[in-house]
Amino acid sequence: SQLRSAQQYEMPIAEPLPELDAARNFLSALRCYLHYKAGRDGNLLTFDAQEEITEQTFIRHSDPASWMRDYFLHARDIQRAANQWMETSEPNGSMLLTQFRDWRTRLSNSEFTVSRERVFFKAPQLLEQDPGLALRLFVFVARHGMRLTADAERRIVDHLPALSRAFADSQSVWPVFKEVLSLPHASLALEAMHGTGVLGALLPEWAGIECLVVRDFYHRYTVDEHTLVAIQQIELLPASEDPSRQRFAALIEEAVDRPSLLAALLFHDTGKASRSGKHVGESARLSQAALKRMGAPPETCKLVSFLIDRHLDMSALLSTRDLDEPSTAKFLADRVETVERLKELALLTYADISAVNPSAMTPWRLEQLWRLYLNTYNELTRELDTERIEAPAETRPEVAGFLAGFPSRYLRVHSEDDIQAHLTLHERAKEKGVAVDVRKTNGTYTLTVAANDRPFLLASIAGVLAGFGMNILKAEAFGNRKGMVLDTFAFEDPNRTLDLNPTEVDRLRLTL
């Protein structure tokens, strides 16, 4: 009767797809068993039913987790096919919606065309000669937040064997992948890469967690879905109107290495495929193999490895330690060593907990996580200005001379790369008396000034930034024994003055 109704109203009818036979047979057998067990038309797959069905003779798995993985793999195949069929059957829609979609077509470029809020290849045959075209498509998705057409998905799937060979032989993939991770819609791009199989082709380490099930009442998602949801949680933070979450959003703006943070999230549970019960070390090992194969720089590999190795630390402390006990903050401070790493670990922990299930990050737990972060931050930065760096161990003479006299907390709040950049600025300042560096990271500008010390220098710099219409987020001031000061400001450009007028950056430097 449903088929006759569809024909009566001229509704499109999907033809059976041979490639879905296995999925159809699997789900049909499951449904028959559930009906038999319930004695009626009941399709609820309970936790107990998962245990019972694996005891049946027609089931090839005796392990419920393995059987559930098959279930999700088959369900995913059917969902993808249904989504593609609905897209090809979609009506033209209202005139207003069509006009909006027509406006979005202006995003089309020489390689990709946008139509009806979807993106497809202009010349798909070029995939044969240029496998990098597939990765550039996902960069486009990450930048503009649009999904792929069914045609684009099909063409990528058809070329997966060639893409796998190209990615395996290339050590220059990281710059493009890093660009995906740095853009506003990275989670959508990663979801599309996952859906087409490109993520598994690029990262064979990912294949082990596809549709992998953690069977308990706490974990809502499969491991791969949990990972993608965790990355999405980072993306959602800046737009949050919840003051409790806005505090964490501010950490993203404070020069956090977003690509490395998302890469750590991407790999943090890959070790669960081993089913050893101790996945952290294996996840870190897999991440290093993948990043080195893609050509990621050593500092990225080091940070990702650190975050994965420590990714359970804050969660464990929330559950097992008194947060107001000074030893708790001291323990975590010794583990992270720098404020920069503390911020990134706090964000990773926030995303990881939030992606366990929709209600895992309760208001109480969110407040506890912030308290732990704040207590540890204070522990890392509590040294008085009178506690000065004297003779840093294992440091080159020129670096030791630069650091001598700085407050001890300088080493806590700045990474090795920061120190090297500050030393370079210091050398420039010795020639002219002042040196200025302005750079943008994740939507926030950082201004660093190295100069000979004089009264009201910090206030003067703040006045210049205010005069340019900048919104100062944070300021730091350090001075060494040679009378050289290092002032750092993190600021926002609310009117996009510097973005829209690049010459204003030069004028800002000149004014300073």
Specify the number of domains making up the chain.
3
Is there a single domain that holds both residue 218 and residue 296?
yes
Assess if residue 472 is contained within a domain.
Answer: yes
User: What is the Cα 131 distance to its own chain's centre?
Assistant: 24
SS3 label, residue 217:
coil
**The pLDDT value given to residue 433:** 84
The pLDDT value recorded for residue 229 is 96
Residues 109 and 30 in one domain: no
C-alpha separations of 65 from 23, 85, 215, 456 in Å: 18, 30, 6, 65
Domain span at residue 34 reads 19-81
Contact criterion met (CB below 8 Å) for 435 and 488: no
Whole-number pLDDT of residue 390: 67
Question: Residue 368 falls within a domain, yes or no?
Answer: no
Query: Could you tell me the pTM of the whole model?
Result: 0.73
- Separation CA 168–CA 161 (nearest Å): 11
| 467 and 325 assigned to the same domain | no
Q: 240 and 276, same structural domain?
A: yes
Q: 249 and 190 in one domain?
A: yes
CA distance 403 to 368: 36
- 196: exposed, middle or buried (C-beta count within 10 Å: 0-12, 13-18, 19+)? buried
Residues 57 and 122 in one domain: no
Contact 166, 172 (CB under 8 A): no
**In this structure, what CATH number is given to the domain that contains residue 306?**
1.10.3090.10
**Does one domain contain both 254 and 142?**
yes
Q: Give Cα separations from 278 to 150, 222, 274, 309, 351 (angstroms).
A: 39, 17, 9, 11, 20
Which residues of the chain are under the pLDDT cut of 70?
A: 1-16, 87-105, 217, 255, 383-388, 390-395, 442
> What pLDDT score does 1 carry?
46
pLDDT of residue 384: 43
Kindly state whether residues 124 and 52 are assigned to the same domain.
no
Residues 63-112 pLDDT 10s: 888 888 888 888 888 887 777 777 666 655 554 555 455 555 678 888 89
Q: Are residues 135 and 206 in the same domain?
A: yes
Q: C-alpha 375: how far from its chain's center?
A: 25
DSSP-assigned beta bridge partners for residue 474: 490
Bridge partners (DSSP) listed for residue 490: 446, 474
Distance between CA 347 and CA 237 in Å, rounded?
Answer: 10
pLDDT in tens, 205-250: 998 998 888 877 677 889 999 999 999 999 999 999 998 999 999 8
